[in-house]
Amino acid sequence: MRDVLYLAWRYLVYHRLKTVILVTSITLIVYLPVGLNVVVEQSGEHLTARAEATPLLVGAKGSPLELALNSLYFSPDYPELIDYSEATAVIDSGLATAIPLYVRFRSRSQPIVGTSLDYFEFHELAFASGRPMAVLGECVVGAAVAEALGVEVGDAVTSSPETVFDLAGVYPLRMRIAGVLEKAFTSDDDAIFVDVKTAWIIQGLGHGHQDLARPEAAASVLDRSEDNIVANAALLQYNEITADNADSFHFHGDLAGYPLTAVIAVPNDEKAGVILRGRYTHDETMSQIVRPVTVIDELLDTILTIQQFIVAAVVIVGLATIATAALVFMLSLRLRRREIDTMLKIGGSRPRVASILVAEIAIVIILSCVLATLITLLTWRFGPGVIESVVLS
Amino acid sequence: MRFSTHQIALIALLASLVACGAEERAIDTAGDEESLPTVYAVNYPLAYFAERIAGNTVEVVFPAPEDVDPAMWVPDVDTVARFQRADLVLLNGAGYAAWIQRVTLSQSRLVVTSAAFADRLIPVEDEVTHSHGPAGDHSHEGKAFTTWLDPEFAIEQARAVLGALLRLHPENESEYRERLATLEQDLRELDRELKDVSARIGDRRLLFSHPVYQYFERRYSLNGQSLHWEPGEMPDEVLWRELSGILSAHPANWMVWEGMPHPEAVSRLEGLGIRSVVFQPAGNRTESGDYMSVMQENLRALQQAFPTSAR
């Protein structure tokens, strides 16, 4: 048997180009439907697990998918904004706990998630080092962020301006890292968490600046009357909140009107959840309440439909490839007529010669299957992340 | 009686097991004590209300040092971390303890005790507006925050405290409600007596050492004008000149102080025909007594200053 395998192997190695083409074709035909299935199933599980962990989302009326993707996976596209009063309305209902979310700004590519302490408790996020943010200007970074940026407790990250050319706009805010989270294997690993008020400061809704009544600020004062002081753009505004200037940070107007992208509502029980959803359904307000799991299921249904079309196409292409491979083998038998005759003349029995030809085919198929399995394993390991990033972008 | 080596070893083993059991029980007990829910308050009246209503079923913590005004006090990061771990944080609202805006606390544990009467808070506007950048003119306006000096508001705040405490211990509802009723009775009695005194004060012009008596003035229809004088300090000449200006439009005979005034200030005021009386807002703990005893002391001071035959 060894001699049969040896001769088959030597033949394949000698005709390496033909072998590589055959192995590649069969590998792809085996891998495509299996790999696609693995990717879709795993991504589905991953997306659904996060959605299932978030019972209800309150956001502005509009695309529920945009609301869910921004709130659960911190996608860069953010939904229409709602007022902070939506969070207090949920709390005041007595039916649910409200966790505000303001996912609008970034530090390089990492999303900055403005929220409250309840977020960590709700998602059971543990601290690898440090503590939750305690004062304005502090942040907590996810495990992947700490790894990617090489930062730890005591370092700082800086928010990125929304538009590079907006010179008169919001200045970047330098935020001290108070804590680093343990790996959670969710989108929380890639996020920078701040208090929602810090997110408002990034936007410029709250700010700290020199006291206009003090002599140091005199150079920045354009006009001073008994009851009004007008300052120019040279007024020193702080881009880092420190113990020395923290007291100067303030917000104008009623915080109830400040923006959020969403509110996570955690109902006290199932009945409370139903009542809360009912209130939004029958209310003609500008906000909506969605069950993220329903939204993500709809997304997955769409992906599954596409998957079915792709699999059907792959099956047809696969049949064509198998037919082509069979043709290649048959043609090669004709081309190898003299070689086969020689083997018979030097004493090789017909079954022996046939087994060499079968072994060649078997080796090609086995090699293809092994390669397809390896690529499927790689897909299983890295595929969901790639697909998720494609879906979220 | 003699013990063999085996017997001694057995006794030692039993003894250590008993000791371990006792130690475990001790740890359990400590655990029970530790497991008492913690309630943090931003001022003493709220801490007092929580203590009166909850008794020893919760641990009430009011961390501000005794020598500071809790409204202006800013806790350090460690204290903020303790606030973060509290089961409930009782806020006064109306902008009291502005540091709350600059820290991260769990929304679900915050209780704004003045929420029920938010529409009746007294606005206080910064006289100077300023503008810089695209935000336009703005001033740092706020609300008067010494809400508890109106006993009706104090009762509302105590009710808010009760509501929050019931979230922690719903099984104690009847007990808590009973204690709240007693507290309300005390506050109503105080209110009634203050009304009697205020009737005697009538429309006499008063001076207040600090602008913290807005709710007290409104509740008892007092005709007062507030200064910015520190009780323990002798006011400088600028403040005296400011007082002269005020007196020309508002000739007052009494100055109500937040705390014991500087003796020199008292005698100079007397020279101007102004007598002094102390009415402590009790925002912080006092060296002796509790909130009600401080209020009773305030009441007695007013009763002495404005006796029945005063009108």
For chain B, which domains are there? 38-121+137-185 (3.40.50.1980), 197-310 (3.40.50.1980)
DSSP assignment string, B208-247: ESSTT-HHHHHHTT-EEEE----TTS---HHHHHHHHHHH
The answer as to whether A374 is a domain residue is yes
- Total domains in chain A come to 2
The fraction of chain B above a pLDDT of 90, given in percent, is 75
A141 and A276 both lie in a single domain = yes
Quote helix, strand, coil % in chain B, to nearest 5.
55, 15, 35
The answer as to whether A210 is a domain residue is no
ipTM of the complex: 0.73
Q: Kindly report, residue by residue over B35-86, the tens digit of the pLDDT.
A: 799 999 999 999 999 999 999 999 999 999 998 999 999 999 999 999 999 9
Q: How confident is the model at residue B21 (pLDDT cuts 50, 70, 90)?
A: very low
A164 and A123 both lie in a single domain = yes
pTM: 0.75
A87 to chain B: nearest residue by CA?
A: B107
Domain end position, chosen among A290, A312, A341? A290
A28 and A122 both lie in a single domain = no
Strands (E), B98-237: 110-112, 123-124, 129-131, 142-143, 205-208, 223-226
- Compute the distance between CA of residue A143 and CA of residue B293 in angstroms, rounded to an integer: 54
pLDDT attached to residue A117: 93
A196 and A70 both lie in a single domain = yes
pLDDT attached to residue A254: 79
Mean pLDDT, range A90-115, rounded to an integer: 93
pLDDT attached to residue A226: 58
- Compute the distance between CA of residue B64 and CA of residue B66 in angstroms, rounded to an integer: 6
Q: Is A134's CB within 8 Å of B77's CB? A: yes
A6 and A119 both lie in a single domain = no
Of B77, B101, B131, which is closest to A231 when you measure between CB atoms?
B131
Query: How many residues does the structure list for chain A?
Result: 393
The answer as to whether A116 is a domain residue is yes
pLDDT attached to residue A392: 57
- Compute the distance between CA of residue B94 and CA of residue A251 in angstroms, rounded to an integer: 15
**pLDDT higher than threshold 50 for residue A347:** yes
**pLDDT higher than threshold 50 for residue B27:** no
pLDDT attached to residue A340: 87
The answer as to whether A227 is a domain residue is no
Better-scored residue on pLDDT, A129 or A38: A129
Residue from A115, A116, A120, A245 to probe the interface with B (highest B Cβ count within 10 Å):
A116
Which chain B residues touch A100 with a CB distance below 8 Å? 107
- Compute the distance between CA of residue B40 and CA of residue B49 in angstroms, rounded to an integer: 12
The answer as to whether A214 is a domain residue is no
- Return the amino acid letter for A72: L
**pLDDT higher than threshold 80 for residue A163:** no
pLDDT attached to residue B17: 46
Hey, which of A281-290, A344-353, B110-119 has the most confident mean pLDDT?
B110-119
Q: Tell me whether residue A77 is exposed, middle or buried, using C-beta atoms within 10 angstroms of its C-beta: 0 to 12, 13 to 18, 19 or more.
A: exposed
A305 and A284 both lie in a single domain = no
The phi, psi pair for B255, rounded to 5°, reads -115, 125
**pLDDT higher than threshold 80 for residue A288:** yes
The answer as to whether A226 is a domain residue is no
Coil, strand, or helix at residue A160?
Answer: coil
Mean pLDDT, range A313-334, rounded to an integer: 84
Q: How confident is the model at residue B24 (pLDDT cuts 50, 70, 90)?
A: very low
Lowest mean pLDDT among A283-287, A288-292, B138-142: B138-142
- Backbone torsion region of residue A174, taken as left when φ is above 0, otherwise alpha when ψ lies between -120 and 50, otherwise beta: beta
Q: Kindly report, residue by residue over A246-283, the tens digit of the pLDDT.
A: 777 878 777 889 999 999 999 999 999 999 998 888 76
pLDDT attached to residue B32: 46
Hey, which of A74-78, B98-102, B151-155, B167-171 has the most confident mean pLDDT?
B151-155
B133 to chain A: nearest residue by CA?
A: A233
The answer as to whether A376 is a domain residue is yes
Q: Kindly report, residue by residue over B206-248, the tens digit of the pLDDT.
A: 999 999 999 999 999 999 999 999 998 999 999 999 999 999 9
The fraction of chain A above a pLDDT of 90, given in percent, is 47
Coil, strand, or helix at residue B261?
Answer: coil
A359 and A265 both lie in a single domain = no
Q: Closest Cα of chain B to A136: distance in Å? A: 5
**pLDDT higher than threshold 80 for residue B174:** yes
**pLDDT higher than threshold 70 for residue A387:** no
Is residue B166 less than 8 Å (CB to CB) from chain A? Answer: no
The answer as to whether A239 is a domain residue is no
The fraction of chain A above a pLDDT of 70, given in percent, is 87
Q: Kindly report, residue by residue over A46-101, the tens digit of the pLDDT.
A: 788 889 999 999 999 999 999 999 999 999 999 999 999 999 899 888 899 999 99
What letter would DSSP give residue B36?
Answer: S
pLDDT attached to residue B45: 97
A200 and A321 both lie in a single domain = no
- Return the amino acid letter for A298: E
Mean pLDDT, range B19-35, rounded to an integer: 46
Q: Kindly report, residue by residue over B269-281, the tens digit of the pLDDT.
A: 999 999 999 999 9
Domain end position, chosen among A264, A290, A316? A290
- The terminus-to-terminus CA distance of chain B in angstroms comes to 92
A193 to chain B: nearest residue by CA?
A: B104
Tokens of A388: 């998720």
- Compute the distance between CA of residue B89 and CA of residue A116 in angstroms, rounded to an integer: 15
pLDDT attached to residue B5: 52
Better-scored residue on pLDDT, A130 or A49: A130
Mean pLDDT, range A130-150, rounded to an integer: 95
Q: Enumerate residues 136 to 155 of chain B having a beta carbon within 8 A of any beta carbon in chain A.
A: 137-138, 140
Host domain of residue A359: 2-47+299-392
Which chain B residues touch A138 with a CB distance below 8 Å? 104
The overall longest dimension of chain A from CA atoms, in Å, is 118
Under a CB-based contact definition with an 8 Å cutoff, are residues B233 and B143 in contact?
no
A169 and A120 both lie in a single domain = yes
A25 and A92 both lie in a single domain = no
pLDDT attached to residue A159: 93
Q: Which residues contact B54 (CB under 8 A, 6 or more apart)?
A: B39, B60, B165, B169, B172, B176, B179
Q: Closest Cα of chain A to B79: distance in Å? A: 10
Under a CB-based contact definition with an 8 Å cutoff, are residues A153 and A180 in contact?
yes
pLDDT attached to residue B216: 97
Better-scored residue on pLDDT, A306 or A214: A306
Q: Closest Cα of chain A to B250: distance in Å? A: 23
Q: How confident is the model at residue A121 (pLDDT cuts 50, 70, 90)?
A: very high
The phi, psi pair for B222, rounded to 5°, reads -90, 150
A180 and A275 both lie in a single domain = yes
Q: Enumerate residues 3 to 22 of chain A having a beta carbon within 8 A of any beta carbon in chain B.
A: none
Distances (CA, A) of B133 to A171, A223, A257: 12, 14, 20
Q: Closest Cα of chain A to B223: distance in Å? A: 26
Of B80, B129, B134, which is closest to A135 when you measure between CB atoms?
B80
Mean pLDDT, range A121-142, rounded to an integer: 95
Q: How confident is the model at residue A170 (pLDDT cuts 50, 70, 90)?
A: low
- Compute the distance between CA of residue A6 and CA of residue A10 in angstroms, rounded to an integer: 6
Q: How confident is the model at residue A336 (pLDDT cuts 50, 70, 90)?
A: confident
Which chain A residues touch B93 with a CB distance below 8 Å? none
Q: Is A87's CB within 8 Å of B101's CB? A: no
pLDDT attached to residue A130: 95
Is residue A236 less than 8 Å (CB to CB) from chain B? Answer: no
A133 and A41 both lie in a single domain = no
